[in-house]
Structure 1
Amino acid sequence: MAIRRFKKLAALLKMETVYGTDAVPTGAANFIQLSDVTFTPMAGDEEARNLLQPKLGHQGIYLTGNYIQAQFSVELAGSGVLGTAPAYGPLLRSVGFAETITAATDVQYDLVHDSFESSDLYWNEDGVRHIGLGGRGTVTFGFTPKRIPRMQFTMKFLQGTIADTALPVVDKSKWIDAVPVSKANTTMSLHGWSAIAESLNLDLANQVVPRHLIGSESIEITDRQATGTAVVEAKSLATIDWFSIAGAHTKGALALTHGTVEGNVVSLSADAVQIGRPASGQTDNIRNYSLPLMLTSLGANELNLTIT
């Protein structure tokens, strides 16, 4: 009997048209390119019996509310063509972004507050395929100099079938190479200051709930509290006074643009970001501030991604 290898993985993801109904993703159209993978094929709850009997011992449990959870990273790059959605577009749509395509111009992703879309997952681990239905999730965005920017997704799906199935033939041509974060490739501004930053991390923090009810099963996004952290080089108060900004509860804009080549430029923006309590630190004996960020929904743009 042949062994099954961990690195031989094919993950396919496709948007649903009817919730919980298999959209049948294919390797030719729906391949997602992943790293940093953790897969839980049977998450859920346990129901104990706790019967009183004339002897001691384990009585077993029931596995209830079963669902699939998949955690993985995706490199953040463009699509290669203006006005063409990136290959990871279905993942963004599954965590609460609406996709707007303007032909030959750009693709924009904006957060929605209801009517969340869902997706189906075919997860093939070297010949064993797990099907997940009705998937929704959350995501974090990470930008660190000298590293490739990545999105870290945590997705939950209703449990479908599990079967011995050959690995699909996949088309990877929709995935273009990302470029590392650097002065040459990346610019960032925060509350009007052209930032010198060591890192930016944003967490959409969706509350994602598997609901197993009488008459209904679904994965629901029930809330979000988008936050983040920016680690910036400390400057004089005359340059930027983070303490006054935090103390006044001021809301200001965040903007980051990554990439310089048309078709491979990703821009993130939010127009009502509140700064939390700054923390003083250092890197290489140079002082910095760690700034908690709250991406409030008080402005028109809670968080936008634009691909150009």
Structure 2
Amino acid sequence: MAKSTKKTLLLAKIQTAAGTDASPTAAANAILLRNVTATPLSAEYVERALIRPYMGNSGQIPTTKYAQIEGEVELAGSGAAGTAPAWGPLLRACGFAETVTASTDVTYAPISGNFELLTLHYYLDGLFHKIVDARGTVSFDITAKGIPFMRFRFMGAYSPITDQSNPTGADYSAFMKPLGVNKTNTPTWSLDSYTGCLQALTFDVANQIEWRSYISCEGAEITNRQPTGNLVLQLPSITDLNWPSLVLTAAEKALSITHGTTAGNIVTVNLPKTQLTNPSYSDDNNLAMLNLDLNINPGQGNDEIEIVLT
């Protein structure tokens, strides 16, 4: 019987110990996502390289196995200031620390060690995939006339895929309805002191995820991060924004954007030390646009990205 990709369910929960299934449930840990891409079994192989008196393949032996999954989650708050969002566990498993100040805000900032682990239960119309010890990376897209979103990619330990009915009672009520990106819903942004017409901000945390496989030891490791991004804005005058000077002097400037206007659903992204590179022009319905690549650099360390929910 054919399987339907519409009947997809993902559950996610932070683990308390390595190698231990956190046992997420549909009622408490369902993830509202879109554009899912699953690689249920990834493997690395070694050639046998046999020498025989005839030509042909010698065959390969699998030496490692793991699972991967990607998907997008809409960027919105939790509905209450000082309450962590439902997507918080995903960001934590991408190398971010979560700091909750009750009734005030929730802040996410990158870390460089002691990365948390995530259990993922992925159901595809009666096929059950269990992924434990997962870690990942994430990118952000805030583009005018669109829905802001995060795209996550996780890697974790493979478990045998089994036939198992999708659990019922998935509760997505903790995911707030997102707001479209526009002048009203995205009230402020700035690059240093400049606040002209912005079309898009995208950036990638760009964690380097490696599947470590040794004797008596294997798992997904975050071995580095090199965040980059891109700005697309209406081409300004040099008086308003001297971008050639910023590019040529390798100046590091603060970049910030706030999306949302109602307490509990306001998300602010701060990139305190952003270096502009690779400028180019583009066209948007006969309007000249400026494209700038971004290197998102740390200051004192673990401070290159700050995501604040208020």
TM-score normalised by L of structure 1: 0.97
Confirm or deny: 8 A CA contact 1:20 1:218 kept in the other structure.
Answer: no
AA at the equivalent of 2:183: K
Q: Cα offset for 1:281?
A: 2.1
CA distance in 1, matches of 2:147, 2:21: 33
Inter-CA distance 299–234: structure 2 relative to 1 (3 Å threshold): farther
Paired residue secondary structure (2:28)? coil
**Partner residue in 2 for 1:178:** 178
CA distance in 2, matches of 1:183, 1:55: 70
Structure 2 portions without partners, runs of 5+: none
**Partner residue in 2 for 1:58:** 57
Confirm or deny: 8 A CA contact 1:73 1:152 kept in the other structure.
Answer: yes
CA distance in 2, matches of 1:20, 1:256: 38
**Partner residue in 1 for 2:235:** 234
Question: Which 10-residue stretch deviates more, 277-286 or 199-208?
Answer: 277-286
Aligned length: 307
AA at the equivalent of 2:232: V
For the pair 1:17 / 2:19, whether they are aligned, the reply is no
Structure 1 portions without partners, runs of 5+: none
Confirm or deny: 8 A CA contact 2:206 2:225 kept in the other structure.
Answer: yes
Percent of pairs with identical residues: 39
**Partner residue in 1 for 2:161:** 162
Counterpart mapping for 1:1-308 below 5 A: 2-169=1-168, 170-186=170-186, 187-298=188-299, 301-308=303-310
Task: Report the RMSD for the aligned CA atoms in angstroms.
Answer: 1.2
AA at the equivalent of 2:75: L
TM-score normalised by L of structure 2: 0.96
* Deviation sequence 1:154-193 (CA, Å, 0-9, x none): 1111112322111012111111100110011112111221
Confirm or deny: 8 A CA contact 2:266 2:309 kept in the other structure.
Answer: yes
Inter-CA distance 299–250: structure 2 relative to 1 (3 Å threshold): farther
AA at the equivalent of 1:31: A
AA at the equivalent of 2:172: K
AA at the equivalent of 1:77: A
Q: Cα offset for 1:52?
A: 1.4
Confirm or deny: 8 A CA contact 1:77 1:176 kept in the other structure.
Answer: yes
CA distance in 2, matches of 1:153, 1:196: 28
Confirm or deny: 8 A CA contact 2:203 2:229 kept in the other structure.
Answer: yes
AA at the equivalent of 2:236: K
Question: Which 10-residue stretch deviates more, 41-50 or 52-61?
Answer: 52-61
Confirm or deny: 8 A CA contact 1:265 1:307 kept in the other structure.
Answer: yes
AA at the equivalent of 2:308: T
Confirm or deny: 8 A CA contact 2:228 2:296 kept in the other structure.
Answer: yes
Confirm or deny: 8 A CA contact 2:196 2:236 kept in the other structure.
Answer: no
* Deviation sequence 1:97-136 (CA, Å, 0-9, x none): 1001111111110111111111011011111111111111
Paired residue secondary structure (2:161)? strand
CA distance in 2, matches of 1:109, 1:296: 16
Q: Cα offset for 1:278?
A: 1.4
Q: Cα offset for 1:299?
A: 5.0
CA distance in 1, matches of 2:244, 2:133: 44
Paired residue secondary structure (1:245)? helix
CA distance in 2, matches of 1:188, 1:160: 44
CA distance in 2, matches of 1:251, 1:41: 41
